[in-house]
Chains A and B, each alone.
Chain A
Amino acid sequence: MTKTFVVAEMALREIARRRGVLAILLIFPLAFYLSRRDSHAGQSIRFVCLGIGWAMSTAALFAGSAARAVEPRLRLSGYRGSHLYLGRLAALWTVGLLLSAPYYVLIRIDQEHVRYGAIGLIMLLTVAVAAPFGLALSAALPRELEGMLVLLIVVGLQMMMDPADSASRLLPFWFSREIGTYAVDHTDGGYLTRGLIHAAVCLAALLAVVAAASGYRLRQRSHLRFVARR
């Protein structure tokens, strides 16, 4: 636990020192929100959640890429792969919650006749899914540019695809549209249930990918044997 906590603390310190990135992360979802605020309030809520997801995935992608150089030596220093990715996830989730909080307050002030609890839930789930999504991308695509392009494609598809299309359920943030509909259009609980199930499945799958990738990359190779000191 101490090791995971120290990794989380150091990851938070690293993120906190990237002030320019933090500022962009904070403003980025606002652009999404304002882009649809005048024409369709409900869409602006869905868009701001997507913006948070994109921003957090990007932050996780870069955090994961930056960690690649130091993680092998940390593994040799006594950390397990799980200490490293859980610590990093904890830091990213913390940043995500702090990033989402002002947008939740904004919606509380700026929007009426919506289910605020459900909107809070979307933000929570978006942050939960976005962090492992970015880390999974950084594990699969070591070069940041490639990871960014994939993120761009995913978020672009998320905006363009019809949520009723079954293929769109393969996208990691599909649940935000579904729960968003429940929150904004006051639909029945089926939307909420489907959204929750989708988020849970995505979260579990992405965590499994992150754990497997970390386990593989930082595995103890079979040729190396540690023998107790004589």
Chain B
Amino acid sequence: MRHDTWLDALAGELRRHGVAADTAGNVLAETAAHLWESGDDPLRAFGPPQAYAATVADSVRLAPPRRAPGGPVRLEVLGISKRYGRRTVLREVNLTVRAGEVAAVVGANGSGKSTFLGICAGLVSPDRGEVRVHGALGYCPQGGGTSDFLVPDEHFLLVGAGRGMSRTEARDGGRAGAAALDWDPRGRTQARHLSGGTRQKLNLVMAGLGDPDVLLLDEPYQGFDQGSYLDFWQQVHRWRDAGKAIVVVTHLLNTRDGVDTVLDLTPREALR
């Protein structure tokens, strides 16, 4: 489907769902930017416009703010700065996430959201600053992170062994995590034959395997349909209620239901 046609349909659906004009404008701008940058087919990336608009409408109906859980600090990001050549991507970024908290990292495309998460995960070096992780880390990359020729259960075994889990624990844990996302991972389907959304579910389940204390999720819902998207947020809330510290990178500025902290990485000059 052409981007313009899909975006027009999305705009109409957002109006139909009663999404405020400024919110709808933000969503359309972010979505268009994502499609333009990735070159993805909108139907593949976001699904039908009706379903995506309904998801957005659900997500912008903010839940009442939760009281600060006040758990122990799990993730401390202190004064992170990062430049690529002459372009400063991150400048003195700070973030503290406690047990039982969800932090959303938002910002325009190219604002350094994934770089920030990569720095938190220790995959990218910053020019300045420090990250302290209290406990074990689980990381869900935006793409990749799976082995094309392995089936889902084998991914669970692989990650589980690293976490010191037995085969049975890893497989059962993985299947339980998948069930929470309304996905049955049993069978012999190799990762390369899974749909984009299902592969992201696999990625997400792998990140949560072995009970890590801090979860770093980089736009993990790419390719999810509406139901999966809602399942994803429910799973995030379950993790939060279990005392995990969660950082979710999102390109949807209004996806803040149940989020305790929002870190906006949009450069200040872009906001003026």
Q: Which partner residue on chain B sits nearest A222 by CB separation? A: B125
Cross-interface CB contact of B161 among A6, A14, A220, A222, cutoff 8 Å: A6
- A6 with B157, Cβ < 8 A, contacts A76-B137, A223-B130, A224-B131 known: yes
In the complex, chain B residues 141-171 whose Cβ is within 8 Å of any chain A Cβ: 141, 144-150, 154, 157-159, 161-164
Residues of A within 8 A of B174 (CB): none
- Bound-state Cα–Cα, A223 to B134, Å: 14
In the complex, chain B residues 11-43 whose Cβ is within 8 Å of any chain A Cβ: none
Chain A nearest CB: distance from B189 CB in Å? Answer: 12
- Give the total of B residues in contact with A, Cβ under 8 Å: 44
User: B225 near A: Cβ within 8 Å?
Assistant: no
Cross-interface CB contact of B162 among A13, A18, A67, A78, cutoff 8 Å: A78
Q: Which partner residue on chain A sits nearest B170 by CB separation? A: A6
Q: Which partner residue on chain A sits nearest B125 by CB separation? A: A221
Known: A6-B158, A223-B125. 6 other contacts (CB 8 A): A67-B147, A70-B147, A73-B139, A77-B209, A221-B124, A229-B134
Chain A nearest CB: distance from B129 CB in Å? Answer: 6
In the complex, chain A residues 70-126 whose Cβ is within 8 Å of any chain B Cβ: 70, 72-74, 76-79, 83
- A66 with B213, Cβ < 8 A, contacts A225-B131, A226-B133 known: no
Chain B nearest CB: distance from A124 CB in Å? Answer: 27
| B 109-149 to A, binary, CB cutoff 8 A, 1 in contact else 0 | 00000000001111111100111111111110100111111
The reply to whether B132 and A227 form a contact with Cβ atoms under 8 Å apart is yes
Chain B nearest CB: distance from A176 CB in Å? Answer: 30
- Give the total of A residues in contact with B, Cβ under 8 Å: 32
The reply to whether B154 and A10 form a contact with Cβ atoms under 8 Å apart is yes
Cross-interface CB contact of A78 among B133, B139, B163, cutoff 8 Å: B163
Q: Which partner residue on chain A sits nearest B161 by CB separation? A: A6
- A76 with B145, Cβ < 8 A, contacts A10-B158, A228-B134 known: no
The reply to whether B150 and A14 form a contact with Cβ atoms under 8 Å apart is yes
Chain B nearest CB: distance from A4 CB in Å? Answer: 10
Residues of A within 8 A of B56 (CB): none
The reply to whether A225 and B164 form a contact with Cβ atoms under 8 Å apart is no
